[in-house]
């Protein structure tokens, strides 16, 4: 493994370039008044179903849109488009995360001023997306009750680089024997004070709090002064 | 992204070195008579629970052991050690997959001739482990019924580079509304003819077939001639 230092250096340059693009994106998002939320999680934690419902609900009073990253297929874009919100698929090939340049390219034809919320669904992966800033205002990490309570301890970086934890599929908590207290304690160990929301896309439980949370975060960002 | 060709080249060299180590490992495994099975899947698909039960069952008549990869924590090794089989943890830091050199190092103090089966539990990830040969005889990809039927289409490479699909948590199939036919059709689309086993670690369903399958594969490998 003698070539490791070289790959680290190359990686550092790529990440630096990504940060520059992300910073430019963040400025564009702020000046257009669009609030940007990215979603990260393991495959199968319910990102797409959750996002479809979120888009459908938000569309009643706001103008949401979504970008969705995947290695292959545009299945998720097709599912999200059922919400009637504008949706674009980013196909990453063998790459296990989205990069700021991909987001920039996917947005090329959109007028950001016509949007209130932009959601970016990352590739399902609890490792790779951690170090890639996409210019988002809020990074949400999803943890489904079916995955086990130990995930925050096993994938600390993705929890550390996220702003909120969203516990999903709460309707399955009993069937899976989910230990809620253990999960909360593990999140607290990895990132003390981290905010946790709990939802079930199937029953709708928790979506009211999620919507209030989003609205409040958007307002707070629009207010000048320290967060 | 002008540095992409350079990173591709560095990556190619690292992969080539990995393949050489993997080949040497494979020869060592064969000459020692140990049958090596690696497990890949998303985080939370039930690899560790499945492996703990497998080790416990196999120990009645065989000599199994396990290596387990994780970014952080030795939680999984602690869980697996309850089976009384020899277990070693490999901590990968920020790396989203195991490499052959890590396996080689972890095995340094073990006498392979004292083992019949060696299991290697990879980091929970449906992307990164695809290209890294670990010298295993059999790569098993786990797909839990809680993850959704679309995963083979969305992560085709990991399914293509695996030998068997193991559908896990079948006891939750009804609660999650798992569409078994759709899952099987998607696996068939990605890799026609791929063998599929179905298990529930909780109820024990499917473990008899899994054990027979393992024994048969081990025997088949020991027989000279084409597989």
Average pLDDT, chain A: 93
**pLDDT tens-digit readout, B8-63:** 777 788 888 999 999 999 999 999 999 999 999 999 999 999 999 999 999 999 99
| Residue B2: predicted pLDDT | 44
Q: Are A141 and A162 in contact (CB under 8 A)?
A: yes
* Interface probe, candidates B6, B44, B172, B178, chain A, greatest A C-beta count within 10 A: B44
Q: Is the pLDDT of residue B6 over 90?
A: no
Q: Which residues pair with B39 in a beta bridge?
A: B121, B140
| Buried-exposed string B45-73: b where 16+ CB fall within 10 A, e elsewhere | bbbbbbbbbbbebbeeebebbbbbbbbee
- Contact between chains at A1 and B7 (C-beta distance less than 8 A): no
Q: Is the pLDDT of residue A53 over 50?
A: yes
Q: Are B32 and B112 in contact (CB under 8 A)?
A: yes
- Contact between chains at B42 and A128 (C-beta distance less than 8 A): no
**pLDDT tens-digit readout, B176-223:** 999 999 999 999 999 999 999 999 999 999 999 999 999 999 999 887
Out of A3, A43, A70, name the one closest to residue B10 (CB).
A3
Q: Is the pLDDT of residue A132 over 80?
A: yes
What ipTM goes with this model?
0.81
Q: What are phi and psi of B25, to 5 degrees?
A: -60, -45
Lowest mean pLDDT among A70-79, A179-188, B34-43: A70-79
d(CA A15, CA A132): 7
Classify strands B117-121 and B87-91 as parallel, antiparallel or unpaired. Answer: unpaired
Q: How far is B22 from chain A (nearest CA, A)?
A: 13
Residue with tokens 């350079």: B6
d(CA B59, CA B39): 19
Q: Name the CA dihedral angle for A215, A221, A222, A227, rounded to a multiple of 10 degrees.
A: 130
Q: Are A121 and A48 in contact (CB under 8 A)?
A: yes
How many CB atoms sit inside 10 A of residue A187's CB? 23
Out of A14, A124, A176, name the one closest to residue B126 (CB).
A124
Q: Which residue of A has its CA nearest to B74?
A: A154
Q: Which residues of B touch A105 (CB under 8 A)?
A: none
Q: Please tell me whether residue B201 adopts helix, strand or coil conformation.
A: coil
| Residue A13: predicted pLDDT | 84
d(CA B168, CA A44): 13
Residue with tokens 């839990």: B144
| Residue A2: predicted pLDDT | 44
Average pLDDT, chain B: 93
Residue with tokens 């109820």: B203
- Which of B169, B147, B170, B177 minimizes the C-alpha distance to B159? B147
Contacts of A73 (CB under 8 A, 6+ apart): A91, B150, B153, B154
**pLDDT tens-digit readout, A200-223:** 999 999 999 999 999 999 999 887
| Residue B176: predicted pLDDT | 95
What's the half-sphere exposure (Cβ side, CA atoms, 13 Å) at B152? 28
Q: Name the CA dihedral angle for B215, B217, B222, B225, rounded to a multiple of 10 degrees.
A: 150
Contacts of A200 (CB under 8 A, 6+ apart): A168, A169, A170, A171, A206
Contacts of B83 (CB under 8 A, 6+ apart): B52, B55, B56, B59
Contacts of A63 (CB under 8 A, 6+ apart): A114, A115, A116, A117
């Amino acid at each position: 493994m003698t070539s490791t230092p070289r790959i680290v250096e190359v990686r550092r340059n790529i990440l630096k370039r990504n940060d520059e693009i992300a910073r430019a994106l963040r400025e564009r998002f702020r000046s257009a008044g669009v609030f940007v939320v990215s979603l990260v999680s393991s495959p199968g934690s319910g990102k797409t179903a959750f996002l479809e419902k979120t888009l459908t609900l938000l569309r009643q009073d706001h103008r949401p849109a979504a970008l969705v990253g995947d290695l292959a297929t545009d299945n998720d874009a097709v599912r999200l488009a059922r919400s009637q919100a504008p949706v674009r698929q980013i196909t990453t090939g063998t790459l296990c995360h989205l990069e700021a340049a991909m987001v920039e390219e996917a947005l090329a034809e959109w007028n950001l001023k016509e949007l209130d919320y932009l959601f970016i669904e990352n590739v399902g992966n609890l490792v790779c997306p951690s170090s890639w800033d996409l210019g988002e205002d809020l990074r949400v990490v999803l943890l489904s009750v079916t995955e086990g309570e130990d995930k925050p301890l096993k994938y600390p970086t993705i929890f550390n680089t996220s702003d909120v934890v969203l516990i999903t599929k709460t309707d399955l908590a009993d069937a899976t024997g989910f230990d809620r207290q253990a999960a909360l304690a593990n999140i607290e160990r990895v990132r003390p004070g981290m905010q946790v929301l709990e939802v079930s896309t199937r029953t709708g439980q928790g979506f009211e709090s999620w919507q209030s949370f989003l609205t409040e975060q958007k307002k707070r960002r629009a207010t000048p002064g320290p967060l």
